[in-house]
Amino acid sequence: MSEIDFEELAEIELQKDEAEHAVMEKRKTSFTPATCEDTELSINHPYYDVARHGIVQLAGDDNSGRRVITFSCCRMPPSHQLNHSRLLEYLRYTLDQYVENDYTLVYFHYGLNSRNKPSLNWLQSAYKEFDRKYKKNLKALYVVHPTNFIKILWNIFKPLIRHDENLRDKQKGRPPPSAKVPPPRPPLPTQQFGVSLQYLKDKNKGQLIPPVMEQTVFYLKSKGLRVEGLFRRSASIQTIKEVQKLYNQGKPVNFDDYGDIHIPAVILKTFLRELPQPLLTFESYDQILGITSVESSLRVTSCKQVIQGLPEHNYVVLKYLICFLHMVSQESIYNKMTGSNLACVFGLNLIWPPEGASSLSALNPLNLFTELLIDFYSKIFSSRTVPGDILP
C-alpha cells in the first residue's frame, strides 16, 4: 500500500472516530484544547509557542522511580495553529532531559482528529529523529484509547511500538500501583520510609543523618563512585520492596547480598521521594522556580540564600547528600554522571509542589538549582556551621 493510500485510510478512520464520538463531544461544551495552557510557563521558554498547550507533560514517577512523560492529543490545537516541526523539536527537547535514565511514555490518543492530526510524513520524520539514544532507556510505552487509526500506524511503525508480553503476563493479577503507599498508622518504631526527618531523629537517638541515607551513601562511596550510569538505572521492584521492608522492620541490610550496585542507588532515591515533605521543603518551592529569572552571575548566591533559609535538620541532611553527589560528579570521567546528569535524576526527589506533580515547565529551574548545588557545593554550603558537617 502506498503512502498516499495510508494517508487516505488514516483520514477515513479518523472521521469514523469523530462520528462515533460526536454525541460525547457535544456534551463537552467546555472542551477547548487550544486553551489548555500551562499557567506556570514563562513566556521566555524557548518553546513557549508549543509548550503552552500542555501537549507534553511530566506525570511523575512510576513504581520503579522512572519518569513518566505523557503526550495528550486532546490538547493539540488545529494544525494551522501549531507548527508541527516545532512540536517535534519540543518533544525532543523534553526527552533530552530524561533519555539518559530509564523512563516511560504514555500516549493518550483520544482527541486526535482530522483537524489537528499531523501528516504521515511528519510521523515518519519523527520516527527517524528518535534514534537509539531515545529508545535504549524507554522501559514502557502505553497507548491509551487506541482506535483503528493506531492499527494503521502499527503497520507502518512496528519497530517503534513494541509491547513486552512477558511483563504484561507478570503484572496480571496484581493490584493497580498507587502513587505513594503511606506507612502503617502509627508507623513502626523502626520505620525508615515515609516518615519525617524529625521522626527518624527521635527514633535513632538524635542521629541527624537518617540510617538509610548513611548506609547507602557509605556503600556507594566505597563501591559505586566509578560505576558507569550510577543512579540512571532502575532495579527490581520486588527487591526494592524487600529492602524497604527490612529497613522498616529494623533488620540489617547487606547490599553485598544482592550483587547489584543500582539497588542501594534506587533505595537512596526512593527514601528521598517518600519523605512526607521534600528535603528542600515546600516553602522553598517558589523561590527555587525563580532561579532561571536570576542573572547567571548571581545564581550561586541566590541558591546559597535559599539554602541558608532551610531548617537546621534539613540543611544538615541536604549538605550530607550534596557532598556525596559532588563526589560522584568528580568521577564523571568514569561514571558519566556530571552535575547536570545527577540533577536530572535528583531534582524532583529533592523538591516538589505541595499539591500535585511538578509541571514540565518547572523542570528546568528545579534541575538547574540542583545542578548548581552539586557543582558549587563548597561555595554554597561554606558559611553555615552545623552539627554533622561533612566536607569533600
* Residue 69 to residues 72, 82, 115, 244, 311, Cα–Cα distance (Å): 10, 20, 24, 26, 33
- Say whether pLDDT at 243 is over 90: yes
Task: Extract the C-alpha cell encoding 68.
Answer: 513518566
Q: Is residue 309 part of a domain?
A: yes
pLDDT of residue 28: 46
Percent of the chain having pLDDT more than 70? 72
The whole-angstrom separation of Cα 237 and Cα 65 is 9
Average pLDDT for residues 97-108, to the nearest whole number?
77
Whether residues 133 and 42 fall in one domain:
yes
Whether residues 140 and 208 fall in one domain:
no
For 279-288, what is each residue's pLDDT tens digit? 999 999 999 9
Q: What is the DSSP letter of 79?
A: G
The residue with greater pLDDT, 121 or 201, is: 201
pLDDT of residue 224: 94
Q: Is residue 334 part of a domain?
A: yes
Mapped onto helix, strand or coil, the DSSP state of residue 57 is strand
Whether residues 215 and 150 fall in one domain:
no
Q: Is residue 185 part of a domain?
A: no
Whether residues 64 and 13 fall in one domain:
yes
Whether residues 31 and 98 fall in one domain:
yes
Q: pLDDT band at 69, cuts 50/70/90?
A: confident
* Residue 364 to residues 56, 67, 190, 232, 333, Cα–Cα distance (Å): 14, 15, 37, 18, 24
φ, ψ at 295 (rounded to 5°): -55, 140
Whether residues 150 and 251 fall in one domain:
no
pLDDT of residue 12: 55
Whether residues 119 and 266 fall in one domain:
no
Whether residues 315 and 267 fall in one domain:
yes
Whether residues 256 and 346 fall in one domain:
yes
Average pLDDT for the chain? 79
Whether residues 47 and 163 fall in one domain:
yes
Q: Is residue 385 part of a domain?
A: no
Residue 80, number of CB atoms within 10 A of its CB? 8
Q: Is residue 387 part of a domain?
A: no
Whether residues 375 and 294 fall in one domain:
yes
Q: Which helix (H) or strand (E) holds 87?
A: helix 84-95
CATH number of the domain within which 26 lies = 3.40.525.10
pLDDT of residue 250: 93
Domain count, the chain: 2
Q: Facing residues of 140 across strands?
A: 104
Range with lowest mean pLDDT among 108-122, 134-148, 277-291: 134-148
Q: Is residue 215 part of a domain?
A: yes
For 273-312, what is each residue's pLDDT tens digit? 999 999 999 999 999 999 999 999 999 999 999 999 999 9
The residue with greater pLDDT, 85 or 311, is: 311
- Say whether pLDDT at 225 is over 80: yes
Q: Is residue 176 part of a domain?
A: no
Residue type, 191: Q
pLDDT of residue 158: 54
CATH number of the domain within which 315 lies = 1.10.555.10
Question: Which residue, 171, 189, 221, sits at the end of a domain?
Answer: 171
Sheet holding 138-144, edge to edge: 56-61, 67-72, 103-108, 138-144
For 9-49, what is each residue's pLDDT tens digit? 555 555 655 565 554 455 444 434 444 555 556 777 788 88
Q: Is residue 178 part of a domain?
A: no
Range of the domain at 68: 3-171
For 157-209, what is each residue's pLDDT tens digit? 555 445 434 444 455 454 444 445 555 467 888 999 999 999 999 999 999 99
Q: Which helix (H) or strand (E) holds 304?
A: helix 299-308
Q: Which residues touch 144 (CB under 8 Å, ≥6 apart)?
A: 106, 107, 108, 109, 110
DSSP string, 249-311: TT----GGGTT-THHHHHHHHHHHHTSSS-TT-GGGHHHHHGGGGS-GGGHHHHHHHHHHTS-
The whole-angstrom separation of Cα 353 and Cα 283 is 9
pLDDT of residue 380: 95
Radius of gyration of the chain (CA): 23
The residue with greater pLDDT, 129 or 82, is: 82
Percent of the chain having pLDDT more than 90? 42
* Residue 288 to residues 27, 34, 302, 349, Cα–Cα distance (Å): 41, 29, 9, 14
Average pLDDT for residues 362-382, to the nearest whole number?
92
CB 140 within 8 A of CB 107: no
Mode of pairing for the β-strands spanning 56-61 and 67-72: antiparallel
Whether residues 209 and 341 fall in one domain:
yes
The residue with greater pLDDT, 62 or 190, is: 190
pLDDT of residue 121: 72
